[in-house]
């Protein structure tokens, strides 16, 4: 999908960089939960200009297409099993992260969030975590467990008062 108004080699250069980076599969610059410095990137790199249109085009062309192909190899009833989708999802995350870096965009960003929202709404919309429904304890048990400690309070007060009088 080459845009018709390309007037320089920039498009070809970016496309070859993307292909090279994705083929190399380098993870040294991957962000982790422990590293939250990505939130300060706009202050650290004010000269950086994000090419959002290229990010969206290339993310569809490379990352989403690859993810869709990988998901088609998994049976739909296994789409909610973590062990089935971990690798394709991780690959998608890595692809979007590297692509964002190549086109000078920060990661995460609103465009990549939209991609993840689309992916989740398409593949994982039926994946709800089953919650355990807790039943109320029987009424008699609740009453017994409440009244026993409450009825011990006057007895304990009587013992404290009696002991204090005996010591006088």
25: alpha, beta or left? (left if phi > 0; alpha if psi -120 to 50): left
Residue 1: its pLDDT value, please?
Answer: 47
d(CA 123, CA 66): 14
Is residue 36 predicted with pLDDT exceeding 50?
yes
pLDDT exceeds 70 at position 88: yes
CATH assignment, 10-123: 1.10.150.510
CB 39 within 8 A of CB 108: no
Give the list of residues 6+ apart from residue 108 with CB closer than 8 angstroms, or none: 38
Stated as kind and residue range, the H or E segment containing 119 is: helix 110-123
Give, as one character, the DSSP assignment of residue 60: I
Per-residue pLDDT tens over the stretch 105-137 = 888 888 899 999 999 999 988 887 766 677 888
Task: Give the CA diameter of the chain.
Answer: 103
pLDDT, residue 42, reads 58
Task: Specify the pTM.
Answer: 0.53
Residues 88 and 71: their CA atoms lie apart, in Å, by: 7
Q: Name which of 1-10, 56-65, 150-159 the model is least confident about.
A: 1-10
């Amino acid at each position: 999908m080459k845009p018709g108004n390309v007037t320089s080699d920039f498009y070809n250069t970016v496309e070859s960089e993307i292909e090279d980076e994705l083929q190399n599969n380098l993870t040294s610059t991957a962000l982790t939960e422990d590293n939250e410095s990505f939130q300060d990137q706009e202050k650290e790199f004010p000269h950086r200009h994000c090419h959002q249109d290229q990010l969206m085009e290339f993310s569809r062309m490379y990352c989403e297409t690859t993810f869709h192909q990988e998901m088609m190899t998994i049976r739909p009833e296994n789409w909610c099993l973590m062990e089935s989708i971990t690798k394709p999802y991780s690959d998608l995350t890595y692809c979007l992260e590297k692509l964002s870096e190549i086109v000078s965009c920060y990661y995460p960003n609103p465009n990549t969030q939209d991609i993840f929202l689309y992916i989740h709404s398409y593949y994982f919309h039926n994946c709800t975590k089953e919650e355990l429904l807790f039943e109320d304890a029987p009424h008699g048990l609740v009453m017994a467990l409440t009244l026993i400690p409450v009825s011990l309070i006057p007895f304990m007060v009587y013992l404290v008062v009696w002991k204090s009088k005996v010591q006088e």
